[in-house]
Structure 1
Amino acid sequence: QQLRLAETLLAWLKCNGSTLEIARLLDIHPQTVRYRVAQLTELFGARLGDPQERLKMQIALEAHHLLGTKPE
């Protein structure tokens, strides 16, 4: 589940939070996107609203993706 949430968070960051774009990108149902984003909101809270924090998250997730490692 951690990998799915990381994948969803990266898609959320890339798609500026657009549920339909994220669903298309991840090939999942929009309701699944909403459920996962709700989980991410619980985990990260106000950090998701902070542009600097979002940039840090996106850089870290992109680095994991490029290196083939798993985010922790």
Structure 2
Amino acid sequence: MADLTIEEKRELLLDLKRALAMGARRVRAGDRDIEYRSREDMKRIITDLEAELDPPTRPASSARLISFHRG
């Protein structure tokens, strides 16, 4: 999938979701037909594409700096 543009990845994501909803395992991406071995493979690719296209925002750090002074 590294050779796909962002737009092609978005299109593939939508196609994968449609195929999964219809029970199909074959998806056309550009000029290629892709047949997945299982629904689990499709779900994994969907999850990967979603993470790549919409990465989660980094949560604010909850680390605290504590210092002690002897005096």
TM-score when normalising by structure 1: 0.46
Higher share in helix? 1
TM-score when normalising by structure 2: 0.47
